[in-house]
Amino acid sequence: MSSAKAPSYLAVLRLPGAGRTFGAALAARFAYGIVFLALVLTAERATGSYAVAGGVLAVFGLTSSLLAPYRARLIDRHGVHRALLPMAAACAALLALIALVGRQPGGPDAALWALGAAAGACAPPLGPFMRTLWRELVGDDERLLQRAYSLDTVAEDLLYVVGPLLTGALTALAEPALAVLLSAVLLLGGTAVLATSPVAASFRGAASPPGPGGERAPAPPGRDPRWWTALLAPVLVTAGLGACMGAFNLLAVAFADRHGAAASVSWVSAVLAVSSALGGLLYGAVRWRLSTRARLPLLTAVLGIFCVLSGQATGMVGLVALAGAVGFLMAPTLTTAYLIAGEVDSESRGTEAGTWVNTAFNTGNAAGSAGIGLLLSPLPLAWCYAVTGAFVLLPAAIAALPGTARKIPQSIPGDIPAIAATLNSGEGEKP
């Protein structure tokens, strides 16, 4: 790293159009911070069954995560007005229907399941799209881009902290269906405002009509293996990170229960959130000499070591301290993965590339929670933490292999003109 003065976070927000674009995107993304808990509470109140409520949440999350890269590809191909806005409108309408159906007890289970699945299938990938827009806003300034991505990651994390609190307040004061309706309003309203920002409005996708001179934007690449190879490291690492965090949260509950301090488990979640935000902000402020490809396995490996050490904690104080160390590296690791995904393809499939990273994290999170739950009975707690650390240590080792950092050709015949020249194994770029 370097001590040279880096651009401030205020400099990021002062970029022309950045405040308006980022603010609108955050408002729309806040819907996702609210909707998950709101769906569970609404479905449970309507049906009286946590099994049905869990099913509604599961189908929403499943269709939202697994189909996200394909929705992102539509945005990359067709732009904001032909893809992003229709997705947001459809998802908001379906969420409003869920709020309507779930307002009264005795709501039909099948209808809630179907609406939940359909709403998830339409949910627009706003986070990856905003990161695509950051590249447009920042231009070629890699140091400013690092700041922007760090700010974006931290802000998104905070939305998932504040969202459930707001949902709980609305449930206590009124009813959970109101929180579902609020998420629909935020999603549609925020996306609509985002679409009017100059930088988003100018994003018309790779399938846009020919320009005045007859030129046409390049079509997105086909299934060229080099495109997928370039994404291998960030996708594997974020899948492992998701599995690690899903398992870590469940293990914290088991650890607290076995130490007779069940009420203290909330401190683990709080410290994870706060330390992740602090780590992300500090990471964005540092001028790194190591390339993103070198940083990714390093950050991931250190995070994994702290996960393994968590199994050696003798009490809640020790676990909370180690959770702080894990959280401190979480946002920097995610930010680095997003930076690499953006470098792989920032021209034709930037939103899709970033969405594969998101999908990997979400899928890994669910798998990690389920997998570690099966191991809690047969294995000692310390071994479970070791397995949790392995979830990220193995991808870190793979990401450190020379083959995953080789330079990708500048162009792919018949496809896009640039698969970014980022995979530099010998000389890292200078952000």
Domains and CATH numbers, the chain: 16-201 (1.20.1250.20), 225-405 (1.20.1250.20)
> Other C-beta atoms within 10 Å of 332: how many?
25
Predicted local distance difference test score (pLDDT) of residue 412: 41
Residue 187 or residue 211, greater confidence: 187
Share of the chain above pLDDT 90, in %: 50
Task: Report pLDDT for 58.
Answer: 86
**pLDDT value at residue 213:** 47
Assign 210 a pLDDT band (cuts: 50, 70, 90). very low
How does residue 416 score in pLDDT terms, banded at 50, 70 and 90? very low
Q: How many CA atoms lie within 13 A of 182 on its CB side?
A: 25
- Mean pLDDT along residues 245-269: 85
**Cβ-based neighbours of 424, under 8 Å, separated by 6 or more:** 291, 293, 405, 407
Q: What is the predicted pLDDT for the residue at 347?
A: 60
pTM value is 0.81
Q: Do 364 and 145 form a contact (C-beta atoms < 8 A)?
A: no
Give residue-wise pLDDT tens across range 56-113: 988 998 899 889 999 999 998 888 999 999 999 999 999 999 999 988 777 788 899 9
Which structure tokens are listed for 161?
A: 């902290």
How far are the Cα atoms of 77, 140, 420 from residue 412, in angstroms, in the given order? 18, 22, 11
**Quick check: 61 and 362 in contact, CB under 8 A?**
yes
Pairwise CA distance, residues 337 & 361, whole Å: 11
How much is the pLDDT for 410?
A: 40
